[in-house]
Amino acid sequence: MEVFVRRLPKVELHLHIEGSLEPELMFEMAARNNITLPYQTVQEARDAYQFDDLQSFLDIYYQGANVLITERDFFDLTWAYLLRCKADNVIHTEIFFDPQTHTARGIAFDTVINGIYHALRQGEKELGITSKLIMCFLRHLSEEEAFETLAQAEPHLNRIVGVGLDSSEVGHPPEKFQRVFTKALSMGLKTVAHAGEEGPAENIWNSISLLNVSRIDHGVQCTQDPALVAELAKNRMPLTVCPLSNIKLRVFDSMENHNILKLLDQGLCVTVNSDDPAFFGGYMTDNFLALTRALNPSKKQLVMLTRNAIEASFISDEEALNLNSQLDEFWLHHGDDS
């Protein structure tokens, strides 16, 4: 099964590019940008990538982002992630970026998006990995600041497929951003939102009804409300689930207790993603392997997780046909009825 998992074509829909900043690259960027880190060694930084909850993780996450200064930094960060995608057989990725994390430090919006976008285009050309870019609003900041960020994005709408909502879920419900999401939709952007990770099932309902999202990021707390589970299954509302992240942030006590396969068997469009892989213990293959070892899925279930991600992605029908053909070819050579 491990060989099967490693070879399985994968599609990632929930990846924060800033959360892929490995300590080695952090030190490299700090050196070239003359930034003093609070760590003496790479290992000390890696040891600091330990935390107790979402907020303590976010504190470390934002501190690490301080080394991202130039367009080259954002390019290198994205390129390093794409190389991991290639190694993990990720054939399509839709990544989040948090412009407010950088503009608050005086980094121009253009600097951020140019570096990321150019790396994504090079990744498609040289690595064969297709991609989309989603701009997130930090929910612990104000609605007004979200509107300012949306305005900054306007010259780059040809590069952005949608907007998302991330950061601290508790205390910052979806309704706080209803008006800015309505504006984004009027501009032709897709909408997604983190909901039902640490927050209640109600946040999932409200993300759907108030923010008109096309996907729910995380969503594992939907099981608090059987009516919601039934609704998600009926409408095939995708959940971009992040197994290793959920364990690291103690959403579940252990991978053996994770509900992703139960939700899959109930007909929900669940997908596997890595979230912030540098902090949460692994990229796409690591997540698939972790749930495989703990939950003993069948090969058909594993393939369905990729099939769901293709269905949930923001690609054209033609592109979806191409990705599904790659998955069909893989199954022809490696699948069986187990």
pLDDT digits (tens, 9 = 90+) for 12-44: 999 999 999 999 999 999 999 999 988 889 898
CATH code where residue 118 lies: 3.20.20.140
Q: Would the pLDDT of 53 be above 80? A: no
Q: Residues 331-338: what's their mean pLDDT?
A: 80
Query: Can you tell me the distance from the alpha carbon of 73 to that of 32, in angstroms, rounded to the nearest whole number?
Result: 10
Q: Which pLDDT score is estimated for 51?
A: 74
Q: Residues 82-111: what's their mean pLDDT?
A: 97
User: Does residue 336 lie in a domain region?
Assistant: no
| pTM, 2 dp | 0.96
User: Does residue 330 lie in a domain region?
Assistant: no
Q: Would the pLDDT of 96 be above 90? A: yes
CA 107 to each of CA 36, 111, 117, 323: distance values in angstroms, whole numbers, following the listed order: 18, 7, 16, 36
Q: Would the pLDDT of 298 be above 60? A: yes
Query: Can you tell me the distance from the alpha carbon of 78 to that of 118, in angstroms, rounded to the nearest whole number?
Result: 9
Q: Which pLDDT score is estimated for 62?
A: 78
Active-site positions read 197
Query: Can you tell me the distance from the alpha carbon of 216 to that of 222, in angstroms, rounded to the nearest whole number?
Result: 10
Which own/partner pairs from 292-298 qualify as long-range (CB within 8 Å, at least 24 positions apart)?
292/1, 292/2, 292/5, 293/255, 294/254, 294/255, 294/256, 294/258, 295/255, 295/256, 295/258, 295/260, 295/261, 297/261, 298/338
User: Does residue 287 lie in a domain region?
Assistant: yes
pLDDT tens by residue, 173-211: 999 999 999 999 999 999 999 999 999 999 999 999 999
User: Does residue 128 lie in a domain region?
Assistant: yes
pLDDT mean across residues, the chain: 95
User: Does residue 333 lie in a domain region?
Assistant: no
Q: Residues 140-144: what's their mean pLDDT?
A: 96
Q: Would the pLDDT of 306 be above 80? A: yes
Task: Yes or no: say if 242 and 282 are a contact pair by the CB < 8 Å rule.
Answer: no
Q: Which pLDDT score is estimated for 45?
A: 84
Q: Which domain holds residue 8?
A: 2-314
Q: Residues 285-295: what's their mean pLDDT?
A: 98
| Residue linked to tokens 């007004």 | 144
Q: Residues 150-172: what's their mean pLDDT?
A: 95
Write down the H helix ranges in 167-225.
178-186, 201-211
Is 276 annotated among the ligand-binding residues? yes
Is 16 annotated among the ligand-binding residues? yes
User: Does residue 52 lie in a domain region?
Assistant: yes
Going by pLDDT thresholds of 50, 70 and 90, the confidence category of residue 337 is low
Q: And the tokens for 167?
A: 């950061």
In single-letter form, the type of residue at position 333 comes to H
Is 258 annotated among the ligand-binding residues? no
Q: What are the beta bridge partners of residue 165?
A: 137
Q: And the tokens for 205?
A: 């309902």
Number of structural domains found in the chain: 1
Q: Would the pLDDT of 338 be above 60? A: no
Q: Which pLDDT score is estimated for 57?
A: 77
Q: Residues 213-233: what's their mean pLDDT?
A: 98
User: Does residue 328 lie in a domain region?
Assistant: no
Q: Would the pLDDT of 71 be above 70? A: yes
> By percentage, how much of the chain surpasses pLDDT 70?
99
Q: Would the pLDDT of 59 be above 80? A: no
pLDDT tens by residue, 236-279: 999 999 999 999 989 999 999 999 999 999 999 999 999 999 99
Q: Which pLDDT score is estimated for 48?
A: 79
Q: Would the pLDDT of 115 be above 80? A: yes
User: Does residue 99 lie in a domain region?
Assistant: yes
Q: Which pLDDT score is estimated for 49?
A: 79
Q: And the tokens for 227?
A: 């009516």
